Structure 1
């Protein structure tokens, strides 16, 4: 694309980056179980999107149940389950390890997306393998920096990586579902399934769903309005002037953005030993995204 970026598009991109960057710090700040935060985040998003979707996409939603879009409906349900796994792993990671490490590790989604494409028979360009190698080395260094701290931090690192794999599966399934579905219909089904799965996980795991202080509820509302709704919306708006590959690159700004917010707001300063690994990880993912521009079709899906 060679469109000249207007001030409105630039403002939308900036707002989207800030919105998704606030996700991990808000999760770390909220005094509530991570599973419960994940449930409320999706449940409240469905409450916002649901009425409009039921009015505008009623025929399409009915066709997903009784008509010719049942195959896409199955993909949407599976995508919702994968998204639930993503939230159930990544959101606890932001409370167990540092915001910087959790955000950087979950940003490895494009690496796993490339490996999923390989499993589906697509050939990866050599530059993508270079990027995967750099990202893996960076993740190993960043995680290794936690070895001398606590088992809690290591568990958080592993959960963040699991969250990255899950969101790659979610994006892959969503790509198949979106082949014949509108964004509105797909999002409603996906978020609804995700919220239902997380509710079951909360009930089985005994996660407390209420009784929080007002600051925690404000943090949850901030997650819904920010990363869940505003971040996605502003990135999607910018797509009329900016390529999907560029958007994927811009999403990587979530890593330094989250680090800055966590430092200024929560007083979290990443361990010095983690900096080289985090830098290598972001560079590696950027190489994968750039190298995969002609290989993969990746809709911009902020992991946070």
Structure 2
């Protein structure tokens, strides 16, 4: 069942890039509305089913929930803006460094990555580079976009690590509603502070915003938040690398754009890297007697 949910989540986030690229609206508006709409849909359900767990949440987990929302806002603000400043290939490759940031954060927190994990992450990132190519332009505008993409990857890594800790105490509904709500508030403040327009868009823009909310936010991020209870942030980050060839394959199916051979080669490398990490985690868990599916306590 978890494998099926992971597949749906990857397909959901894979639709994010093509949909957002077609939305003629400011980056902060796109980021705000997809989170605000998801919050509006989840809040009544969370109020009905998660009120008790939210009201009894300790100060540490409240702080981590708020921090995860702030980091998610940082991820969206940086990532969507980077797509407007640098090439899609460069932005996609650089935001995918989030798996490297997850490993680095875990190392700082005292979790030493195994050789298999490092090897698998390296192979998977190489697969992303094969799909996107190395397309780093030296103009000032593109350099800012590249740096924002890296920042987006770092924020996404922190968001996943915080989510792992909170999901030990909160249900998927409670966590996602609180996280998306915090993210929406941060993005609203950022949009108002920078003068970004949030309304006055044509119907086509609103329909595309609805589509990206359903696919990428509800079926993508929300399912990944659910899987954080049974998968580590490293594995989730590796799954997100499949967004790169996934977007290309979706474009082939729905837009008739035949993907280059590099998409298939890169997909194979990403899957191979993911397999190495999962197999390595199972071997480590077997030797220690732990459950390989459950991430270590935060």
Partner of 2:164: 175
Inter-partner Cα distance in structure 1 for 2:158 and 2:8: 27
Of 198, 211, 233, the match for 2:200:
211
Deviation of 1:289 (Å): 4.2
Partner of 2:247: 258
Give the direction of change, closer, same or farther, for the CA distance of 1:239–1:163 in structure 2 (3 Å limit). Answer: closer
Give the direction of change, closer, same or farther, for the CA distance of 1:39–1:247 in structure 2 (3 Å limit). Answer: closer
Instruction: Give me the TM-score of the superposition, normalised by structure 2.
Output: 0.77
Inter-partner Cα distance in structure 1 for 2:63 and 2:82: 29
Higher relative contact order (CA 8 A, sep 6+): 1
Inter-partner Cα distance in structure 2 for 1:45 and 1:195: 9
Secondary structure, counterpart of 1:121 in structure 2: coil
Inter-partner Cα distance in structure 1 for 2:268 and 2:213: 31
Deviation of 1:73 (Å): 0.9
Partner of 2:79: 90
Partner of 1:28: 21
Deviation of 1:160 (Å): 1.5
Deviation of 1:225 (Å): 0.4
Partner of 2:136: 146
Of 114, 127, 135, the match for 1:125:
114
CA offset digits 1:32-77 (Å, max 9, x no partner) = 011111011111110000001111122222223xxxx222111101
CA offset digits 1:225-254 (Å, max 9, x no partner) = 0010012455678899x9768766544321
Stretch moving more, 100-109 or 205-214:
100-109
Count residues in correspondence.
Answer: 285
Q: Determine if contact 1:129/1:288 at 8 Å carries over to the other structure.
A: no
Secondary structure, counterpart of 1:122 in structure 2: coil
Gaps of 5+ in 1: 300-304
Q: Determine if contact 1:20/1:227 at 8 Å carries over to the other structure.
A: yes
Partner of 1:302: none
Gaps of 5+ in 2: 286-291
After superposition, the CA RMSD in angstroms is 3.9
Q: Determine if contact 1:112/1:164 at 8 Å carries over to the other structure.
A: yes
Inter-partner Cα distance in structure 2 for 1:212 and 1:127: 49
Secondary structure, counterpart of 1:97 in structure 2: coil
Deviation of 1:113 (Å): 0.6
Deviation of 1:110 (Å): 1.9
Partner of 2:47: 54
Deviation of 1:164 (Å): 0.8
Inter-partner Cα distance in structure 2 for 1:171 and 1:108: 13
Inter-partner Cα distance in structure 1 for 2:94 and 2:80: 12
Give the direction of change, closer, same or farther, for the CA distance of 1:251–1:82 in structure 2 (3 Å limit). Answer: closer
CA offset digits 1:155-204 (Å, max 9, x no partner) = 32221211111011111111222222222222221111110000010011
CA offset digits 1:257-303 (Å, max 9, x no partner) = 2234457878999999x98xx7899579647844566589888xxxx
Q: Determine if contact 2:167/2:228 at 8 Å carries over to the other structure.
A: no
